[in-house]
Structure 1
Amino acid sequence: MNINDLELFILVAEQGSFAKAAESLNTRRALVSRRIAELEKQLGASLFTRTTRAMSLTPSGELYLEQVAPLLKQLKNASFVFKNRYNEVQGRVRIGLLPFADKMLDQQIASFVHSYPQVQLDITVITGGFKDIARLGLDLVIDINQPHDSQFTSKTLLNFERKIYASPSYLEKSSVIETLEDLQYQSSLGFRGANGLVEEKWNFQQATITAHHKVICSDYNTLYNLCLGGAGITLLPEIIVHKAVENKLLVNVLPELSAGFSDLNLIYPYDANLSHATKVLIEHLTTVK
């Protein structure tokens, strides 16, 4: 059984679509579909239920994912530790990190620090995205924007979904929120992008509303903390609030609403003379999930 096919199976399960998985790998959907079909043939079981509108894991697929994912992660981690032991990596890597990206990549960064103790990560919090690479003398940046410039290489690390959240204390004091229209009468916390534009409208799959922002901020971490404190409702990446939701510190308001998905990208100069430590970090971040 090919380990690449297992990685592909996990990717398709995470993306929920052959097309999305093919796009992230820059390959054809038909090829992804064929490789999954071959894997199912080897296992003697269907892993995905396919319809014209949606695709989901079968019970066998869910069980297989539960068993395979941690084993594959352990195998990758073992490989990184082995490489570090016999090919010692040293040096400093200068990274530009968006204020909220630490919550998304904390485990991957911690894993790298453990595997490569001779490498120093010099992290700078940035607001200008990939444009800060030259300005601040960075080796790479983690950004939600894609550079439309052949001078840069961009690799997607993960994608995240934004939903509406509020604290229980805010909901106790606010008017009832039962419909999309009710959001217009709430105190909202708005996001300002790196381009300086404020997200005045919240675009959902069902409709678009005009939010009445009581606070505007360019940092998701600050919005997260203000939301925890009961200042209002806001759109936040699910990946950085899931622990707060599990601990009942935040509530997903109108959970059927989604503001869509965005990518978190690793970006570095295309023709840069990257150090060995930087190359190893890039490989680690794009491989270890």
Structure 2
Amino acid sequence: MNLNDLNLFIRVVETGSFTAAADSLSVQKSTISRRIAQLEDTLGIRLIQRTTRKLKLTPEGEELFSRAQPLIDDLSAVQDDISATKTELRGRLRLTMPTEIGVFMMNEVISSFMKAYPRIEVDVELSTRTVDLIEEGVDLAFRLGPLPNSSLIARHVAGLHRGLFATPEYIQQHGMPDTPDDLIQHQCITLLKPFDHLRFVNWNNHEPVSMGGRLRTNSLSFVREMILQNMGIGRLPEVFCGPLVESGRIVRVLEGFDLEPLEINALYASRRNLNPRVRAFLDHMSDRLSDHPWVQNKLVHLTH
């Protein structure tokens, strides 16, 4: 069995099409199709059922993928590690993340990484939009909240503890809610595209809670500013509001009810195609974030 052909087969399955696999590897689609056919001829079995709309693995193809992918990943990791020791890491690393994660959490990670690897160039897009890593050539994406099912590899970064906050002036005018169900009667500042539903670990069996209000935004920083303008109750990371709470400018709302933590994950396309720059950044991130106030649980190094 040709390992290069097996490599291409795994990439086709991971990306979901011959076209996407060809684009991600910068080869011709016809080349991948021919090599997969050669692999099938060598094995004497059909691996992929080809239709005009989508690809479907045969039972034999599913078994080959499930058993071969970890082996190819391990082999690629060994090759990356050996290559990385031969020359100093260089090239461009492309990252995307929400603005607040970049400004308040990843700022020191990125700056110290660039000092440690002076020949690596870094592009950072601060945005909440969902980036297609393969189509847009992005190496690593940081995303908040539950992850949809996909072929992307996810590495857990942190769990953020959050709370509900408002100004004393707002509470004086509108009253303090007694239970989460009272939030529907309040002016709440919410997100345009919520990362997750408002849920409490000790209320209503974790079912979502409705929030009233007229103001929505895509920025946590703007939520905080609107809270300070007495516009209502907002949900924010605890450490994002610590100094404001200590100074008395804002107060915690529903302190006896604990919100579910917000998960942060780093996504990349494939372990097998993980270049040494991304691997180095993930390990560097693990070291630098281990004691960060936004991180509620310890990180582990990327397994080689």
Normalised by the size of structure 2, how large is the TM-score? 0.56
Q: Name 2:124's counterpart in structure 1.
A: 123
Distance change >3 Å, CA 272–CA 98, structure 1 → 2: farther
1:184 correspondence with 2:188: no
Q: Name 2:158's counterpart in structure 1.
A: 158
Percent pairwise identity: 20
Q: Is the 8 A contact 1:93 1:122 kept in 2?
A: yes
1:218 correspondence with 2:218: yes
Question: What letter is aligned with 1:170?
Answer: Y
What is the deviation of 1:182? Answer: 4.4
Q: Name 1:11's counterpart in structure 2.
A: none
1:151-191 alpha-carbon deviations (Å, 9 max, x no partner):
3211111101221011344334x222051154333211112
Which structure 1 segments of 5+ residues have no match? 1-85
Question: What letter is aligned with 2:254?
Answer: L
Distance change >3 Å, CA 133–CA 249, structure 1 → 2: farther
1:213 partner SS: coil
Which structure is larger by alpha-carbon Rg, 1 or 2? Answer: 2
Q: Is the 8 A contact 2:134 2:269 kept in 1?
A: no
Structure 2 CA distance for aligned equivalents of residues 213 and 263 of structure 1: 25
Q: State the Cα RMSD in Å.
A: 3.0
1:8-33 alpha-carbon deviations (Å, 9 max, x no partner):
xxxxxxxxxxxxxxxxxxxxxxxxxx
Q: Is the 8 A contact 1:126 1:132 kept in 2?
A: no
Distance change >3 Å, CA 92–CA 237, structure 1 → 2: same
Distance change >3 Å, CA 191–CA 116, structure 1 → 2: same
Q: Is the 8 A contact 1:155 1:266 kept in 2?
A: yes
Q: Name 1:286's counterpart in structure 2.
A: 286
Q: Is the 8 A contact 2:133 2:139 kept in 1?
A: yes
What is the deviation of 1:213? Answer: 1.8
Structure 1 CA distance for aligned equivalents of residues 165 and 194 of structure 2: 22
Distance change >3 Å, CA 106–CA 252, structure 1 → 2: farther
Q: Is the 8 A contact 2:95 2:140 kept in 1?
A: yes
1:52-83 alpha-carbon deviations (Å, 9 max, x no partner):
xxxxxxxxxxxxxxxxxxxxxxxxxxxxxxxx
Structure 2 CA distance for aligned equivalents of residues 117 and 135 of structure 1: 27
1:203 correspondence with 2:199: yes
Structure 2 CA distance for aligned equivalents of residues 243 and 218 of structure 1: 23
2:281 partner SS: helix
Distance change >3 Å, CA 241–CA 152, structure 1 → 2: same
Question: What letter is aligned with 2:203?
Answer: Q
Q: Is the 8 A contact 1:165 1:253 kept in 2?
A: yes
Question: What letter is aligned with 2:266?
Answer: L
Structure with the higher strand share, 1 or 2: 1
What is the deviation of 1:107? Answer: 3.5
Question: What letter is aligned with 1:262?
Answer: L
Distance change >3 Å, CA 171–CA 265, structure 1 → 2: same
Structure 1 CA distance for aligned equivalents of residues 286 and 152 of structure 2: 16
